[in-house]
Structure formats: C-alpha cells, structure tokens
C-alpha cells in the first residue's frame, strides 16, 4: 500500500520583528550584518497569548477546509512541538476538539524540532501502510521566540514562529504527491548543543535559573532560555545531511542528478549555502524562502512547500528530497514523488 499526501499548508503569525527592530534594542548590532550572516531580514513572532497549537490549528483548519475533507474520516492527529500549551494534557487532544475531529481519532504529541515535520510524515506513512489508519493529519507548531533572550544574537536573529499541517492518506484521489523511502536518525550526544536547560524534571525552575548571564561574546540568556552552540550544530549538519541523503538515494535506487528539488529545513543562509556547496546542488534545485519568516523550526518545510507551489517551482512528475535536521541531534529525509 502506498501513502499519499493530499495537501500541505503553512502559517505564520501577523506580528513581524525586523532586523531594525532587533538593533533598536541592542546598540552595537547591525541590521545588514545580521542579514549577511543569516539571510533573514525579519521574522514572524506569536503574540503573548498565541500558542504553538494556535498556529498549528490555523494551518490544519485551513488545509481541511481547502480540501473540503470530511473531518470525521481523520483517524489520527499527530502534533509536533517543543513549546506545548501545557505540560499535560497533550496539545493534540486539544486540537482534536478544536478541529472537530471524531472522538475515535487517535491523538498524540511528539517532541522534535527541525526534523519534526519529516518525522511526522514517516509516522503517518507507517500508520497508513500498516493499515492502522487511513487518514493521518500531521500538525506542527512552534513558538521559539518565547524561548529566545532578546539580547542573544545567536538565537533571536534566527528563529521565528510558525505552524503547518499535512494530510496523509491511503487514498490517491486528489493527492498532490506520494511518499517514497525514508531515512531517519538520532545522535543524542549533541543534546547539549541546542537546549533549554531548566524548566522540566531534570532541572526544575528556581530563582537562579531565571537569571540571565552574559557570555564572552556579549550574548545574554538564562537557563530557562534557548542555548545554541552554532559551530557544533553547523558541524553536525555538514556531516549528517550529505551522508543521510546518499543513504536515501541508495535505498531508492536513484542518483543525485535524478532529483529535481532538494527541499531542506530552512535553517539559515550560511548553513544552506555550505550544504549546497558540499553536495554540488545547483541553486535552482534548492529553493530558499526564509528571508521574511526566519527559521520556524518544524514549520519551515510546510512553508517552503507553500512557497514552491505558489511560485510554480514544483512541477508534475518531479522527485523531491525533503530534509529535516537539528535539535536532538535528529534528522529525517524522505523522497516525495509529485503527482
């Protein structure tokens, strides 16, 4: 049995924070230099009362409405987030009710970042092909802006907020693509390089975890905020992505030149540029769309798919590699055959 993608949709909140806005609160920062390093001019951020499930809901509700899909036929909803509404219950349970899905619908959260959307496709394909489910709704939502210290150039210049959704089915009618092979992987030795150290069971919040400290480069953050070791994350990415895609191609019996599009997690311009250079991918085969949204974590690929659709970059019959990679460390790659 083949698993098909019936549709994909991304969403970003209305609030925009430009590089100039960041510079206004950080004397000594430079808007042009931020853009040169990251490829990002602005990023969308959630309002104080807007959560990750709110962003995912808007994407999922819009997708189901646009497909005129019978919501009672959704067998499972999977929600990927690292910024859930509550410690419990699962945000997926809340989304089941908000979206008007059947009470016979399975619902669960999974905690993954930049690899999360492709991981969700992997889970959905497994459920469909094992006949455990017929229609699986994948929803992603992230509000990393709430984790970033406004005076930490490493994180606040890169991350934005966003949501996304995809519907995977055993039914090919109206499908936009079919799911091919997958390669997924994990290396937890890199956990400390992209982490929020305090706030959960291992390191509960205390009076001291909320106190921001300044590092040797002048960046401020507390243990309750996002820490990223940029050079280590970059090194991991260069090592894992190329080898992982080669494994995917070997598994699929394809060569690099037989792939029409490489749809990568939209991390930042420097990282994607180095990946493209290492793998000798022509620029036209690796589209980039994060200049105005920033790195929206698990939502970057849904937003990229929207961009490719709206700009006629995807053509019928194209073969695409979807690649998610980051926090964990974790990675997930898959082959998408466009109908």
CATH number of the domain that residue 22 is part of:
3.40.47.10
Work out the percent of the chain whose per-residue pLDDT is above 90.
Answer: 99
92/121 same-domain check: yes
* Domain membership flag for residue 297: no
Do 154 and 26 share a domain, yes or no? yes
Do both 171 and 244 map to the same domain? no
Full-model pTM: 0.96
Q: Looking at the structure, tell me whether residues 33 and 116 fall in a common domain.
A: yes
* Interatomic CA distance for residues 273 and 280, integer angstroms: 10
Contact 240, 327 (CB under 8 A): no
114 is catalytic: yes
Specify if 299 maps to a domain.
no
Among residues of the chain, what percentage have pLDDT more than 70?
A: 100
1 pLDDT more than 90:
no
Verify that 210 and 77 share a domain, yes or no: no
Listed residue (118, 170, 167, 142) closest to 53, CA to CA: 142
The residue annotated as part of the active site, out of 114, 148, 308, 334, is 114
Residue corresponding to tokens 């080898």: 243
The answer to whether residue 318 scores a pLDDT higher than 90 is yes
190: confidence class by pLDDT, cuts 50, 70, 90 = very high
* 72 found inside a domain: yes
Residues 238 and 277 in one domain: yes
* Pairwise CA distance, residues 247 & 22, whole Å: 41
Do 69 and 198 lie in one domain? The reply is no
pLDDT at 90: 97
**Per-residue pLDDT tens over the stretch 203-227:** 999 999 999 999 998 999 999 999 9
144 with 188, same domain: the answer is no
Number of domains in the chain: 2
In a domain, 292, yes or no: no
In this prediction, residue 271 has a pLDDT band, given cuts at 50, 70 and 90, of very high
pLDDT, tens digit, 9 for 90 and up, residues 237-265: 999 999 999 999 999 999 999 999 999 99
Q: Which of 140, 159, 179 is the last residue of a domain?
A: 179
Which alpha helices (H) appear in the chain, and where do they start and end? 19-24, 31-38, 52-67, 91-98, 116-129, 153-156, 230-252, 269-279, 300-310
Domain boundary among 179, 212, 241: 179
| Closest by Cα among 319, 337, 303, 333 to 119 | 333
Query: Is residue 295 flagged as an active site residue?
Result: yes
26, 105, 148, 265: the catalytic one is 265
Same domain? 132 vs 270: no
Task: Write out the residue range of the structural domain in which residue 169 sits.
Answer: 4-179
Q: Does residue 163 fall inside a structural domain?
A: yes
Mean pLDDT of 148-177: 97
Q: What is the DSSP string of 31-54?
A: HHHHHHHHS-SEEE---TT--HHH
Could you tell me if 198 and 174 lie in one domain? no
Whether 273 and 124 share a structural domain? no
| Same domain membership, residue 121 and residue 261 | no
In a domain, 300, yes or no: no
Q: What integer is the mean pLDDT of 280-300?
A: 97
For the ranges 66-75, 149-158, 212-221, 252-261, the lowest mean pLDDT is seen at 212-221
Facing residues of 159 across strands? 295
192 assigned to some structural domain: yes
* Residue from 268, 295, 308, 334 carrying the catalytic annotation: 295
């Amino acid at each position: 049995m083949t698993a098909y993608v019936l549709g994909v949709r991304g969403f970003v909140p209305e609030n925009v924070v430009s590089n100039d806005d960041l510079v206004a609160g950080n004397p000594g920062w430079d808007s042009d230099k931020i853009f040169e390093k990251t490829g990002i001019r602005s990023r969308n951020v959630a309002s104080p009362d807007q959560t990750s499930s709110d962003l995912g809901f808007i994407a999922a509700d819009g997708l189901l409405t646009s497909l005129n899909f019978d919501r009672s036929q959704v067998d499972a909803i999977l929600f990927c987030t690292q910024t859930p509404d509550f410690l419990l219950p699962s945000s997926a349970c809340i989304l089941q009710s908000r979206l008007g899905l059947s009470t016979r619908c399975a619902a669960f959260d999974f905690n993954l970042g930049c690899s999360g959307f492709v991981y969700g496709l992997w889970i959905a394909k497994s459920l469909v092909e094992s006949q455990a489910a017929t229609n699986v709704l994948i929803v992603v939502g992230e509000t990393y802006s709430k984790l970033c210290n406004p005076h930490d150039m490493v994180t606040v210049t890169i991350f934005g907020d966003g949501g996304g959704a995809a519907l995977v089915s055993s039914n090919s009618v109206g499908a936009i693509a079919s799911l091919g092979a997958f390669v997924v992987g994990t290396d937890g030795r890199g956990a400390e390089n992209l982490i929020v150290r305090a706030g959960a069971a291992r390191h509960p919040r205390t009076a001291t975890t909320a106190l921001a400290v300044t590092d040797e480069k002048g960046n401020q953050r507390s243990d309750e905020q996002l820490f990223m070791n940029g050079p280590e994350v970059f090194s991991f990415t260069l090592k894992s992505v190329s080898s992982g895609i080669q494994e995917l191609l070997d598994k699929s019996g394809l060569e690099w030149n037989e792939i029409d599009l490489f749809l990568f997690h939209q991390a930042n311009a420097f990282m994607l540029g180095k990946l493209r250079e290492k793998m000798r991918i022509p620029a036209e085969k690796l589209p980039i769309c994060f200049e105005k949204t920033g790195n929206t974590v698990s939502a970057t690929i849904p937003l990229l798919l929207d961009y490719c659709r709206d700009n006629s970059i995807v053509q019928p019959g194209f073969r695409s590699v979807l690649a998610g990679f980051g926090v964990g460390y974790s990675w997930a790659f898959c082959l998408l055959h466009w109908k």
